[in-house]
Amino acid sequence: MRKIKKIAVMTSGGDAPGMNAAIRSVVRACAYYRTECIGIYRGYQGMIEGDMIPLTARSVNNIVHKGGTILKSARSKDFRTEEGRKKAYENLQENNIDALVVIGGDGSFTGGVVFNNEYDFPIIGIPGTIDNDIFGTTHTLGYDTALNTAVDAIDKIRDTASSHNRLFFVEVMGRDAGFIALNAGVGAGAEEILIPEEDLGLDRLLESLKKSRRAGKSSSIVVVSEGDKTGKNVFELADYVEENLEDYEVRVSVLGHMQRGGTPSCFDRVLASRMGVKAVELLIDGKTNLMVGLNNNEIETIDLEKAIKGQNEINRELLRVSDIMTT
C-alpha cells in the first residue's frame, strides 16, 4: 500500500453551501493525521494549470459558516481531454500529491473516475450540490441550506400573495431532480408541486387550483422545479392558467441562484465536518474510488461509479402527504 503523505482538496462543478466547511474538515483532518494538505483552485481547471496553495489548520480559520468556496469552483472543458488530464497528472506529481478529495457533483465524480482509470490516482468524493441528486447519500452538502433558503423565500412570497389574493408560481432549482421543489413545497405549504419525476398533467393543475378556491383559499402557491414535465416553462405555465381560469391574477417568481448562496445550515456544517474527516481517513487507509455518504445518520461509503450511475428515488410518501395537505 502506498503511503499517503500529501492530500489535495478541491471543489468542482456548481458551488454549494457547506463546501467551505468540508474544505476545513479535510484540512484539519490532514493536520490531525500529520498529513500535508494542498488546496487546488477552480477544480480540475486549477489542477491542469497548477493553481494550488498549501493549506494548514490555520488556513481554514473562520470559514465554517461561509457560503461559496474559498477554493473557487469551475467547469473544465480541458479536463475532458486526455491532454488536459495528462497535464493535471504531471502537476500532481510535481507537487508530490498522493491523493485527492473532490467535493462536487456527479460530473466531478465522473471526471475523477476517468482520471483514476488512466493514472491509478487515489480519489475520494464528497457530494456537494444543492440538488441532492446523488445516489448513495440521503443528503448532499448544500441541500439542507438550499431548502431552507427556498422555504424562507416562499414564505415571503406568500405574504404578498395573500395580501392581493394572487396565485404565485415559484420556480426553484432542480433540472433533473425535484427534491428541492417537493420538500420546500411541503415545508412552505404549497398548493401544488411540479417536479421532473412526475407528470401530473395540466388538467390536474387547473382542477387543483379550482378546488383550492372553492375551499375558500384566497391565495395559492405552486412550486415548480426547473425541469418539470409539463412541457411549459414557469412563465408559460402562468399564462396558461390565466387563460384557462377566470379571476386569477397570476405572478411568477424565479428564485434562481440565491438558492446556491448563503450561510450553510447547522446540518450542512455538521455533515461537511463528518464527511471531510471520513474522506481523509479513507485515503490514509489506502482506499480509493469511493464517495462518502450519509445513510440513517451514519457516514457510509459507496463506490464512486455506483454513485454516478444510481438514481435517487423521489419520496412517494412525501408526495402523498403533499396531496393530503392541499385538502
Q: How far is the CB of 227 from ligand ATP (least distance, A)?
A: 13
Helix axes 106-119, 82-94, angle to 10 degrees: 70
Q: Does 14 bind ligand ATP (CB under 6 A)?
A: yes
Instruction: Give the number of residues in contact with ligand ATP, rule: CB under 6 A.
Output: 18
Cell of 97: 500529491
Q: Report the residue number, 111 or 209, with the smaller CB distance to ligand ATP.
A: 111
Nearest residue to ligand ATP, scored by beta-carbon proximity: 107
CB within 8 Å of 224: residues ≥ 6 apart: 169, 170, 171, 172, 181, 193, 194, 234, 237
Chain-centre distance of CA 162, in angstroms?
31
Q: Which residues on neighbouring strands pair with residue 127, listed in sequence order?
A: 104
Q: Does 13 bind ligand ATP (CB under 6 A)?
A: yes
Q: Does 107 bind ligand ATP (CB under 6 A)?
A: yes
Tell me if 15 sits within 8 A of 68, measured CB to CB: yes
Q: Does 111 bind ligand ATP (CB under 6 A)?
A: yes
The single residue among 11, 69, 76, 219 that binds ligand ATP, judged by CB under 6 A, is: 76
CB within 8 Å of 322: residues ≥ 6 apart: 182, 185, 186, 190, 193
Tell me if 14 sits within 8 A of 57, measured CB to CB: no
Q: Report the residue number, 19 or 205, with the smaller CB distance to ligand ATP.
A: 19
Q: Does 125 bind ligand ATP (CB under 6 A)?
A: no
Binders of ligand ATP among residues 237 to 266 (CB under 6 A) are none
Tell me if 17 sits within 8 A of 260, measured CB to CB: yes
Tell me if 166 sits within 8 A of 218, measured CB to CB: no
Sketch the per residue contact string, 25 through 44, with ligand ATP: x for CB under 6 A, - otherwise: -------------------x
Q: Does 104 bind ligand ATP (CB under 6 A)?
A: yes
Binding span for ligand ATP by CB under 6 A among 98-106, 155-163, 277-285, 298-306: 98-106
A 10 A CB-CB count for 111 gives 25
Cα–Cα distance for residue pair 225/247, rounded to 1 Å: 25
Q: Does 108 bind ligand ATP (CB under 6 A)?
A: yes
The single residue among 12, 25, 219, 253 that binds ligand ATP, judged by CB under 6 A, is: 12
Please give the angle made by the CA atoms of 158, 162 and 165, to the nearest 5 degrees.
Answer: 130
Give, in order, the Cα–Cα distances in Å from 199 to each of 105, 153, 224, 317.
26, 25, 12, 17
Q: How far is the CB of 214 from ligand ATP (least distance, A)?
A: 41
Q: Which of 15, 106, 131, 144 is catalytic?
A: 131
Q: Exposed, middle or buried by CB within 10 Å (0-12, 13-18, 19+), for 94?
A: exposed
Q: How far is the CB of 131 from ligand ATP (least distance, A)?
A: 6
Strand ranges of the sheet holding 99-104, from the earlier edge strand across to the other edge: 52-54, 36-40, 6-11, 99-104, 123-127, 290-295, 298-303
Q: How far is the CB of 312 from ligand ATP (least distance, A)?
A: 13
Q: Which residues on neighbouring strands pair with residue 124, listed in sequence order?
A: 101, 290
| Whether 133 is catalytic | no
The single residue among 57, 70, 114, 318 that binds ligand ATP, judged by CB under 6 A, is: 114
Sketch the per residue contact string, 126 through 165, with ligand ATP: x for CB under 6 A, - otherwise: ---x-x----------------------------------
Q: Does 270 bind ligand ATP (CB under 6 A)?
A: no
Binders of ligand ATP among residues 202 to 221 (CB under 6 A) are none
Q: Report the residue number, 83 or 236, with the smaller CB distance to ligand ATP.
A: 83
Q: Return the active site residues.
A: 131
- Positions that interact with ligand ATP (CB under 6 A): 12-14, 44, 75-76, 79-80, 104-108, 110-111, 114, 129, 131
